[in-house]
């Protein structure tokens, strides 16, 4: 993959990351060519993208008969000799199979589906070599801060968090917030699942586990810091006390493009940061009492094995119910915690085991829903 045009496929092409990926391709059509598209259920967007980019190979998941069939079709698309890069922007644990197939076949995985690493990091990382590039603003930032450095000199990773739409609120303030309130996210424009995860701070929790796997750091070395402006995308602190930070415009097209261009840098797809008009940079501590999901994710990560899979499955169940107005906001961490309490972690051994564990956890999570908080 040097000078030649790179062939990419986009899984989840109609979502937030997917459409921004298409935009990056539009601006660098001399360097990138789309050869496959997968969408969950947005038929119109899939057809429009296929037509614009001249793509024959396309899959609409909602039309597939079974999950197994969909998985096989996607695997087939990934394995095509033509494909250089797979952008995995599928939402939730459903993205794990595609990540596995991509790395197994030695192709670059530009990974926006953080649940792949949360659930299956123990399987994916040994296959990753240099093929795994994160599409997550924080992890893309850390990746760049680590370039040229000795791994053994890293003392801490400071993972920045915007704080979400409910920053500063206490439990009593959050009793009756609705999905619509949570969807008013201040900084990043994202899909509904990740937006709710940002409001509960579970997104940051998933990112802690993602960072643990991607950068081989212990949980004690990961420090979550609130950076309200989202101008600093994360920082790495070294043993000599030096801290490297990555800054830039808050636009996902920058980390998306880097995951595609690496090790090269290409012209920016967005407006540059205007430092003279950036009046302040604020830092703070996350409130893990109010936003218990962050604490639970640290606990799941430290327990290791299949526990992050359990936690993630319970969270997916709870978020879907919250989006559907079936449960209250504060019940999300409650369901996650109760589900986690019903499992002991096993060593991660296979995709089949994780899939079975995910199914069991979802079943249990549904029984953990109380009628009051
Ligand atoms: Mg992020």
In this prediction, residue 4 has a pLDDT band, given cuts at 50, 70 and 90, of: confident
User: pLDDT, tens digit, for every residue of 30-51?
Assistant: 999 999 999 998 999 999 999 9
Average pLDDT of the chain to the nearest whole number: 94
- Centre of ligand 1 from the C-alpha of residue 56, in Å: 32
Place of tokens 């199914």: 359
Which SS3 state, helix, strand or coil, does residue 372 take?
coil
Distance 193 CA to ligand 1 centre (A): 13
Q: How far is the CA of 63 from the centre of ligand 1 (A)?
A: 30
For 247-274, the pLDDT digits (tens) are 999 999 999 999 999 999 999 989 999 9
Band the pLDDT of 182: cuts 50, 70, 90.
Answer: confident
Tokens 């991509």, residue located: 102
Those residues whose C-beta lies under 8 Å from the C-beta of residue 325, and which sit 6 or more positions away, are: 178, 179
Spatial contact of 243 and 268, defined as CB atoms under 8 Å apart: no
Ligand 1 midpoint to CA 135 (Å): 8
Which is higher by pLDDT, 260 or 185?
A: 260
CA of 280 to the centre of ligand 1 (A): 21
- Ligand 1 centroid to residue 12 C-alpha, Å: 17
Cα 231 to chain centroid, rounded: 19
The angle, 0 to 180 degrees and rounded to 10, between the axes of the packed helices 114-128 and 307-323 is 150
d(Cα 330, Cα 91) in Å, to the nearest integer?
22
The string of pLDDT tens digits covering residues 147-180 is 999 999 999 999 999 998 899 999 999 999 999 8
Residue pLDDT, tens place only, 355-366: 999 999 999 999
Tokens of 144: 């760049």
Cα radius of gyration rounded to whole Å, the chain: 20
Structure tokens of 307?
Answer: 């526990």
Cα of 371 vs centre of ligand 1, distance in Å, is: 32
Q: Give the closest residue to 100 by CA, choosing from 352, 351, 347, 359.
A: 351
**19 Cα: distance to centroid of ligand 1 (angstroms):** 17
pLDDT in tens, 98-130: 999 999 999 999 999 999 999 999 999 999 999
Helix, coil or strand: residue 76: helix
What pLDDT, in 10s, does the model give residues 327-347?
999 999 999 999 999 999 999
- Report CA(294)–ligand 1 centroid distance (Å): 14
Closest CA to 339 of 373, 316, 314: 314
At residue 66 the predicted structure's pLDDT band, cuts being 50, 70 and 90, is confident
Question: 206 C-alpha vs ligand 1 centroid, how far in Å?
Answer: 9
Distance 148 CA to ligand 1 centre (A): 23
Ligand 1 mean position to 137 CA, how many Å? Answer: 5
Q: Work out the percent of the chain whose per-residue pLDDT is above 90.
A: 86
Q: Is 13:39 a contact under the CB 8 Å cutoff?
A: yes
Say if residue 306's pLDDT is above 90. yes
Q: How many A from CA of 187 to the centre of ligand 1?
A: 11
Determine the distance from the C-alpha atom of residue 315 to the mean position of all C-alpha atoms in its chain, rounded to a whole number: 14
Determine if residue 58 is left, alpha or beta; phi over 0 gives left, psi from -120 to 50 gives alpha, anything else beta: beta
> Is 220 a residue whose pLDDT tops 70?
yes
Say if CB 88 and CB 95 are below 8 A apart.
Answer: yes
Other C-beta atoms within 10 Å of 49: how many?
A: 23
* CA 183 – ligand 1 centroid, Å: 16
Closest CA to 311 of 269, 364, 243: 364
Query: 180 C-alpha to center of ligand 1: Å?
Result: 21
Q: What is the DSSP string of 163-191?
A: --TTTT--HHHHTT--HHHHT--SS----
Distance 246 CA to ligand 1 centre (A): 13
Which tokens in the block code for residue 188? 């990043």
Question: What's the gap in Å between 112 CA and the centre of ligand 1?
Answer: 9
CA 139 to ligand 1 centroid distance, Å: 7
Residue of 293, 145, 141 whose CA lies nearest to 209 = 293
SS3 42: coil
Find the 204 Cα to ligand 1 centroid distance in Å: 7
Residue 67 pLDDT grade (very low, low, confident, very high; cuts 50, 70, 90): confident
Q: Which of residues 276 and 189 earns the better pLDDT score?
A: 276
Q: 352: which 2 tokens?
A: 């089949």
Going by their DSSP bridges, the two strands 6-11 and 85-88 should be labelled as parallel
Give which of 82, 109, 90, 87 is closest to 21, Cα–Cα.
87
């Amino acid at each position: 993959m040097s000078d030649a045009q790179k062939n990419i496929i986009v899984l989840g092409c109609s979502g937030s990351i997917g459409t921004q990926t298409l935009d990056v391709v539009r601006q660098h059509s001399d360097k990138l060519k789309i050869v496959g598209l997968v969408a969950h259920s947005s038929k119109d967007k899939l057809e429009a993208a296929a037509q614009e980019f001249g793509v024959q190979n396309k899959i609409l998941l909602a039309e597939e008969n079974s999950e197994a069939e969909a998985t096989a079709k996607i695997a087939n698309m990934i394995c095509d000799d033509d494909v250089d890069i797979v952008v995995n922007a599928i939402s939730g644990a459903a993205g794990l199979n595609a990540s596995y197939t991509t790395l197994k076949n030695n192709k670059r995985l530009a990974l926006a589906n953080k649940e792949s690493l949360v659930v299956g990091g123990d399987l994916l990382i040994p296959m990753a070599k240099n093929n795994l590039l994160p599409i997550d603003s924080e992890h893309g930032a850390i990746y760049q801060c680590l370039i040229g450095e000795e791994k053994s000199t890293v003392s801490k990773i400071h993972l920045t968090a915007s704080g979400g739409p409910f920053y500063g609120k206490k439990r009593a303030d959050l009793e009756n917030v609705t999905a619509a309130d949570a969807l008013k996210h201040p900084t990043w424009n994202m899909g509904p699942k990740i937006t709710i995860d940002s409001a509960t701070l579970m997104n940051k929790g998933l990112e802690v586990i993602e960072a643990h796997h991607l950068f081989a750091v212990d949980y004690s070395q990961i420090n979550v810091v609130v950076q309200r402006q989202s101008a600093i995308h994360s920082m790495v602190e070294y043993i000599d006390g030096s801290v490297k930070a990555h800054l830039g415009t808050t636009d996902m097209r920058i980390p998306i493009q880097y995951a595609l261009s690496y090790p090269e840098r290409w012209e920016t797809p967005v407006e540059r940061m205007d430092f003279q008009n950036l009046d302040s940079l604020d830092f703070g501590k996350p409130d893990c009492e109010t936003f218990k999901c962050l604490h639970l994710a640290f606990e799941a990560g430290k327990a290791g094995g299949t526990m992050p899979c359990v936690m993630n499955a319970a969270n997916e169940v709870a978020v879907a119910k919250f989006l559907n107005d079936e449960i209250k906001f504060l019940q999300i961490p409650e369901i996650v915690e109760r589900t986690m309490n019903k499992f002991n972690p096993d060593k991660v051994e296979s995709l089949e085991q994780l899939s079975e564990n995910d199914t069991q956890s979802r079943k249990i999570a549904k029984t953990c829903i109380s009628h009051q908080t």
